[in-house]
Structure 1
Amino acid sequence: MSIRIRRTAAAVALPLALGVTLTACGGSNGSSGAAVQAGCKPMHSFPTVQAKQLTVAVYVSPPYSVQKSGGAFGGVDGEIIQQIAQMECIKLVEKPVAGAALIESVKTKRADVALGGIYRTPERARILGLTSTLYRDGMAFIGKSKATTIADVKGKTVGVIQGYLWNADLQKVLGSGHVKIYQSSDGLVSDLKNGRLDQGVLTTSEAGYRAKQNPAARLQVGQVARDARVAASTKPGEVVLPLTKGNTKMLEAFNQDIQALLKNGAIAKALTGNGISASAAGS
């Protein structure tokens, strides 16, 4: 599910070990619960839900968040939060949650931050603290034939994921009977492979990842052309980290850390290491 609600908003790729030189603190592998090295000096100071740890709610949604062996999380967002935890000399505790519980976990202060390819939206900004943009993400068709325009999929059965930004617009333009809603991209891709679905609509990053993950299916990915009837096609989504509302010190710290990671190329490396163009980094 894309909390591309997205996403809003989105596992299995080996994460890139980032060569960040800002600090050598934190766990050696950035895994969940890794100890902080003695003598580590944090870049900032901010309160957290649980003292001396950064509690992270994670919805597994590759390539944004990927569950690795041993229970830790990678993917683009997973690698970025590991770097931030190291810069801030704080223990990272990652907790997997269902997609529907992701935003609620942060809103109700059961977690400090959420991961899973989460887009900036005005609705989220009212209930959460949203960081500066990590990277941008678009809207893509995926299917056995290549589609790039709304006209290309007119009259066909098009699959979308519950909660994505473009769902309501596509239902209006294509007709609700032609738009099939899935709870996860796994079911959508399975139906594409088996011929039960003509086209799917995913984020650009998800679509590329899924196509590479299923080479035998020969799925084709096409960036959706701008169409004023589908607002999400006119501007890329901005992936952010949602934090607990009102924690201004954490928000300021994260924003400064993100700018440092953009400047030294760490976010670009996280993107390319997970099959996404480095040009998507930043706002």
Structure 2
Amino acid sequence: MKALKRTACAILAAGMIALTGCSSTTSGHQTNATNCKPAHDGIQTITPGVLTVAHYEYPPFAYVEDGKLKGLEGEVLQKIADMECLKINVVPGDSAAMITSVQTGRADTTLGSWYRTKARSEVVRLSEPVVTSPLALVSKTGATTVDDLTKLGSVGAGQALVGVGELKSLLGDRLKLYPTNDAEFADFQAGRIQAIVLGYGAAITSLKKQPVEGAEIKIIEADSRLSSTVNVGQTNFPTKLNNNGLGQAIDEDIKTLRNDGAIADIAKKYGFQAEIADPGTPNLL
């Protein structure tokens, strides 16, 4: 895979709370076809014929390469856009702005391993689960449990990671929050933090990109003190609460892609086990 490259626009967006005005458009093979018939009629998007996607780089789930959405969820969302004859307009921003951008109608949806959570269900419409994404711990000690985690020194986590509140309760001032995986792994490489908590897929990609001698990735063992280790997180493509038409179309398209094996095939392409494409009954963390 080519080295991931941030556009100048995405660099400007880093650290900002709101989406920037910079954007790039990608389109699937069906979107330009005059005979394209959408799988669902009457879908409403911010711009007719366009799916506006709030985006931050979160490989292997979502990133932009050669002007196109890539990653496990990036390719799934592109397939959905093709099914609905929609072009994709990617609007980059900081991770903390993604859900808010959908909530306020500045984006139709977002991607990047956003778990289905009760708190998010109150501000956006959560879609059918896309895949499961277990929570992992990267350290040099081989830590696998919450007890192990509490005995470590400083620990890094993403600002928007599910369970940040629980991690703060467990670690207090020893928890350090970051806007990007690159930033937290840079501190891990430099020894400024002793471990990182993040999704398993992102951990694999980030450690490969920014290796740390002696570091290991372990899925955190189930513990009620960190609820997302008990109910494994399910990712989704959220939409605005009152846009049921778009939300229902995405739900049904995800089911179609799951049933025909497309999601499992994409998952395997990015190094996941096919089983994550069968997330089971929808849950809320």
The TM-score range, normalised by the shorter chain, is 0.7 to 0.9
What value does the CA root-mean-square deviation take over the aligned residues? Answer: 1.9
Kindly indicate whether the alpha-carbon contact (under 8 Å) linking 2:113 and 2:133 is maintained by their aligned counterparts in 1: no
Choose the corresponding residue for 2:4, options 3, 12, 29: 12
Match of 1:22 in 2: none
1:98 aligns with 2:90: no
Structure 1: distance between partners of 2:151 and 2:123: 38
**Could you say what secondary structure the match of 2:125 adopts?**
strand
Choose the corresponding residue for 1:50, options 42, 47, 52: 47
Structure 1: distance between partners of 2:170 and 2:189: 25
Kindly indicate whether the alpha-carbon contact (under 8 Å) linking 2:189 and 2:211 is maintained by their aligned counterparts in 1: no
Aligned counterparts, 1:61-80, within 5 A: 61-69=58-66, 71-80=67-76
Choose the corresponding residue for 2:183, options 173, 180, 187: 187
**Could you say what secondary structure the match of 2:132 adopts?**
strand
Aligned counterparts, 1:87-126, within 5 A: 87-126=83-122
**Could you say what secondary structure the match of 2:129 adopts?**
coil
**Bigger shift: residues 184-193 or 134-143:** 184-193
Q: For residues 180 and 258 of structure 1, do their structure 2 counterparts lie closer, same or farther at Cα, with a shift above 3 Å needed?
A: same
Could you give the per-residue CA deviations for residues 104-156 of structure 1, whole angstroms, max 9, x where no partner exists? 22112122111221111122212212110000111111022311012223332
Structure 2: distance between partners of 1:184 and 1:124: 20
Amino acid at match of 1:140: A
Structure 1: distance between partners of 2:173 and 2:119: 28
How far 1:216 moved relative to its partner? 6.0
Percent identity reads 31
Structure 1: distance between partners of 2:158 and 2:94: 14
Kindly indicate whether the alpha-carbon contact (under 8 Å) linking 2:37 and 2:85 is maintained by their aligned counterparts in 1: yes
Unaligned runs of 5+ in 1: 1-10, 14-30
How far 1:42 moved relative to its partner? 1.3
Match of 1:272 in 2: 268
Choose the corresponding residue for 2:143, options 140, 147, 168: 147
How far 1:215 moved relative to its partner? 4.5
Could you give the per-residue CA deviations for residues 10-69 of structure 1, whole angstroms, max 9, x where no partner exists? x839xxxxxxxxxxxxxxxxx714542121111111111111211111121111111202
Structure 1: distance between partners of 2:207 and 2:221: 19
Structure 2: distance between partners of 1:53 and 1:43: 15
Kindly indicate whether the alpha-carbon contact (under 8 Å) linking 1:144 and 1:192 is maintained by their aligned counterparts in 2: no
**Could you say what secondary structure the match of 1:160 adopts?**
strand
Choose the corresponding residue for 2:254, options 258, 261, 266: 258
Amino acid at match of 2:26: S
**Could you say what secondary structure the match of 1:249 adopts?**
helix
Q: How many residues align?
A: 254
How far 1:211 moved relative to its partner? 2.4
Match of 2:157 in 1: 160
Amino acid at match of 2:55: V
TM-score of the superposed pair, with normalisation by structure 1: 0.83
Structure 2: distance between partners of 1:115 and 1:177: 30
Structure 2: distance between partners of 1:266 and 1:38: 25
Kindly indicate whether the alpha-carbon contact (under 8 Å) linking 1:211 and 1:218 is maintained by their aligned counterparts in 2: no
Match of 1:28 in 2: none
Unaligned runs of 5+ in 2: 6-24, 280-285
Could you give the per-residue CA deviations for residues 184-217 of structure 1, whole angstroms, max 9, x where no partner exists? 2212211222222211111111112222324463
How far 1:252 moved relative to its partner? 1.7
Choose the corresponding residue for 2:132, options 123, 130, 136: 136
Structure 2: distance between partners of 1:229 and 1:87: 41
How far 1:166 moved relative to its partner? 2.2
Structure 2: distance between partners of 1:200 and 1:90: 37
Report 1 or 2 for greater relative contact order, CA contacts < 8 Å, sequence distance ≥ 6.
1
1:127 aligns with 2:135: no
Structure 2: distance between partners of 1:96 and 1:127: 21
